[in-house]
């Protein structure tokens, strides 16, 4: 069996691993490289025009016949997706629809909802007919590969690791995982199964393996220093409240917000972080405030509740207010409720209005109510500057605000651009400080080391980390000889 590492090497995300056995070629993840794209593009101002732009820059492999609009036989027979984060599935829309894409049922729900909520493009649309789903306990036979998906804890529901066997060789691929979320027992179960599997090769994530104890904190410091250079003033002071697990995120948020009785509470988190959504919903109930979320997150939430019975204790229609983004009309942005909305969003608007009435939709004149009733709302959003632009009063007054940065995923270059603007908005509103309250979507380095030690593979390859050379510091001495640091596009043979 040949294993080629086509992405995720010396970077966080962009995972692309090609397994080749008996002429059958299976991709493990086909993720977007934010680091790679940021070198050449700055969306939306400068974006790739076609797949050929991505190929020539080595952002996707040059598999002639594999991509849409190409002729010839595909060079990939199937794709296996670990979870629904863009750095693991983001380039799937480029593939020909006849290439089957295997993913968990929950991942399909999330990806479909995201597509239905957003404007379609050649870079975004996955053909539904190409998707085949599985659940924990399934045994997949894809060509010569026997694959056992094992559910793990991550900052998005439906994340999987894989136990893979072909030609008498065994591989364990961790995907992304952690031990401090709502379903940490799933990751423990994975480790037990992986140990019993006795793999020849372990391909392990190492997101938090870094010189700093908190690489995300180090990134924030760099971004703040850049902001000082750009604006010639100090940004609002960041107050760090590092939580141990998702339950302590809620307790830290309670402590910060229960004394802010006359302020609007704005929390920024990832759209697909359903654990954090649940936490903020519980916070809103504790504070007796109305929860406000955006269209894409609301549609993902609605679909998960409707289609996945295993996801529990989430806000339902009627438990949240729906914040509508402005729509573009030619050269300007305008207020619309249903005009130029996607059909799925129109349905969502109708469902929320049926339960809460017209006031349940935050758009147009209703935006002013947020500024007028600051202590009535908790707004959860992935894009705080956009929300602030929408709710600030026309008279130039600056409402009292408590801001919490609660992203659980590492900052990438795309988010870094937005963070600089966010700091400027907070400074404009007169904030002297803001809070960072979160828990990572990834295992701690010491935990990853223990996982490797327990699984005890014959060979281990670290991916999804900026510092693979530090991986050996966290594993047992007797395993350091089995550590293999691969280069981009390198091929190993088992």
Domains observed in the chain: 2-208+442-493 (3.60.15.10), 215-438 (3.40.50.10710)
Indicate the pTM of the whole model.
0.93
Read off the tokens for 270. Answer: 């990832």
Close Cβ partners of 23 (under 8 Å, ≥ 6 residues apart): none
Length of the chain: 494
Q: C-alpha angle 295/298/299, rounded to 5°?
A: 85
Close Cβ partners of 134 (under 8 Å, ≥ 6 residues apart): 102, 103, 104, 105, 140, 149
Peptide bond preceding 175 in cis form (omega within 30 of 0): no
CA distances from 54 to 33, 67, 126, 291 (A): 10, 11, 17, 40
Collapse the DSSP code of 116 into the 3-class scheme (helix H, G, I; strand E, B; otherwise coil) and give the result: helix
Local confidence pLDDT in tens for the 494 residues of the chain: 999 999 999 999 999 999 999 999 999 999 999 889 888 998 778 889 999 999 999 999 999 999 998 999 999 999 999 999 999 999 999 999 999 999 999 999 999 999 999 877 778 889 888 999 999 899 999 999 999 999 999 999 999 999 999 999 999 999 999 999 999 999 999 999 999 999 999 999 999 999 987 777 777 888 888 888 888 888 899 999 878 999 999 999 999 998 788 899 999 999 999 999 999 999 999 999 999 999 999 999 999 999 988 888 999 999 999 999 876 655 555 667 777 688 999 999 999 999 999 999 999 888 888 988 989 999 999 999 999 998 988 888 888 999 999 987 655 555 666 788 899 999 999 999 999 999 999 999 999 999 999 999 999 999 999 999 999 999 999 999 999 999 999 999 99
| Backbone conformation region of residue 481, classed left if phi is above 0, alpha if psi is from -120 to 50, else beta | alpha
Q: Give the dihedral sign, CA 438/124/82/314.
A: positive
């Amino acid at each position: 069996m040949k294993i080629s590492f086509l992405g995720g090497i010396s970077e966080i995300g962009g995972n692309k691993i090609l397994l080749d056995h008996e002429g059958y070629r299976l991709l493990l993840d086909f993720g977007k490289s934010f680091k790679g794209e940021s070198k050449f593009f700055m969306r939306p101002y400068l974006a790739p025009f076609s797949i050929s732009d991505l190929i020539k820059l080595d952002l996707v492999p040059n598999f002639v016949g594999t991509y849409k609009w190409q002729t010839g036989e595909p060079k990939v027979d199937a794709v296996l997706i670990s979870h629904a984060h863009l750095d693991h599935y983001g380039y799937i829309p480029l593939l020909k629809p006849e290439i089957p894409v295997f993913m968990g049922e929950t991942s399909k729900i999330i990806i479909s909802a995201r597509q239905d909520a957003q404007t379609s493009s050649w870079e975004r649309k996955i053909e539904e007919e190409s998707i085949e789903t599985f659940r924990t306990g399934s045994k997949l036979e894809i060509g010569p590969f026997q694959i056992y998906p094992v559910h793990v804890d991550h900052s998005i529901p439906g994340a999987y690791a894989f136990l893979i066997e072909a030609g008498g060789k065994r591989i364990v691929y961790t995907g992304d995982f952690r031990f401090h979320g709502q379903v940490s027992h799933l990751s423990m179960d994975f480790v037990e199964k992986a140990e019993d599997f006795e793999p020849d090769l372990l391909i392990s994530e190492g997101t938090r393996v870094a010189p700093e104890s908190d690489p995300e904190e180090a990134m924030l410091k760099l971004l703040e220093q850049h902001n000082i250079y750009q604006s010639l003033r100090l940004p609002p002071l960041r107050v760090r409240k590092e939580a141990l697990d998702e339950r302590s995120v809620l307790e830290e948020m309670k402590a910060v917000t229960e004394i802010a009785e006359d302020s609007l509470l704005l929390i920024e988190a990832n759209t697909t972080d359903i654990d954090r959504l649940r936490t903020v919903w519980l916070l809103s109930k504790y504070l007796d405030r109305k929860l406000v979320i955006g269209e894409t997150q609301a549609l993902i939430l609605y679909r998960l509740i409707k289609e996945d019975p295993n996801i529990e204790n989430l806000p339902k229609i009627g438990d949240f207010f729906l914040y509508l983004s402005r729509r573009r009309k030619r050269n300007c942005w305008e207020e619309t409720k249903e005009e130029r909305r996607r059909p799925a969003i129109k349905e969502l608007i109708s469902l929320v209005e049926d339960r809460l009435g017209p006031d349940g939709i935050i758009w147009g004149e209703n935006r002013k109510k947020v500024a007028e009733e600051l202590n009535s709302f908790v707004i959860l959003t992935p894009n705080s500057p956009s929300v602030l632009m929408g709710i600030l009063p026309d008279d130039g007054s600056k409402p009292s605000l408590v801001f919490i940065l609660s992203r659980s995923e590492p900052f990438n270059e795309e988010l870094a651009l937005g963070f600089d603007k966010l700091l400027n908005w907070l400074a404009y509103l007169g904030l002297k400080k803001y809070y960072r309250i979160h828990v990572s979507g990834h295992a701690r380095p010491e935990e990853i080391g223990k996982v490797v030690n327990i699984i005890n593979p014959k060979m281990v390859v670290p991916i999804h980390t900026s510092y693979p050379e530090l991986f050996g510091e966290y594993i047992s001495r007797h395993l350091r000889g089995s550590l293999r640091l691969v280069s981009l596009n390198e091929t190993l043979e088992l």
